[in-house]
């Protein structure tokens, strides 16, 4: 019924790397996630889809872009959830820590609103949010990296 979501995991002295076939490919030579010593380290993740488009990005008739921080945040967290599930079988509840990169802190309220639909203070991960000058693609408003405990 379903095909494997990951290429064969690669094992090395730094743990097991996971390159997932149903996620957008990394922009360089790194895995979507790496498992070592009972923890899963998820590489910085955006709202990019398998076809290269980005959730939360609309191209207008005049060629300009409309960027939606709420949709991008939802897309990023859902991508992270899929990476964790495909790599370990766990869910978002296994995330221990997140680091969030925003291009502009004016987007903090919208990002935080969506974030709070996925996590609560009692059981959610620790979190750091920082503003960065830019991300690898001008369409991106947000990128998140995560660390999860493996079941």
pLDDT in tens, 97-139: 999 999 999 999 999 999 999 999 999 999 999 999 999 999 9
Instruction: Give the residue ranges of DSSP H helices in 32-121.
Output: 69-88, 108-118
Residues 10-149, CATH architecture: 2-Layer Sandwich (3.30)
134 versus 151: which is more confidently predicted? 134
Cα diameter, the chain: 51
Give the whole-angstrom CA distance, residue 8 versus residue 28: 18
Q: Per-residue pLDDT tens for 79-101?
A: 999 999 999 999 999 999 999 99
Q: What percent of the chain has pLDDT over 70?
A: 90
Whether 2 shows a pLDDT value over 60: the answer reads no
Asked if 97 contacts 127 with a C-beta cutoff of 8 angstroms, the reply is: yes
Q: Residue 1: pLDDT above 60?
A: no
């Amino acid at each position: 019924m379903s095909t494997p979501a990951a290429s064969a995991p690669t094992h090395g002295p730094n743990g097991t790397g996971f390159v997932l076939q149903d996620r957008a490919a990394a922009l360089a030579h790194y895995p979507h996630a790496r498992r070592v010593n009972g923890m899963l380290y998820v590489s910085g993740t955006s709202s990019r889809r398998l076809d290269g488009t980005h959730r939360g990005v609309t191209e207008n008739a005049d060629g300009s872009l409309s960027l939606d921080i709420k949709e991008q945040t939802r897309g990023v967290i859902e991508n992270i959830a899929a990476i964790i599930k495909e790599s370990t079988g766990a869910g978002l509840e296994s995330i221990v820590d997140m680091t969030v990169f925003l291009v502009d802190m004016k987007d903090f309220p919208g990002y935080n609103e969506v974030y709070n639909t996925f996590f609560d203070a009692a059981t959610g991960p620790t979190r750091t949010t920082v503003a960065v000058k830019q991300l690898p693609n001008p369409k991106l408003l947000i990128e998140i990296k995560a660390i999860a405990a493996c079941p």
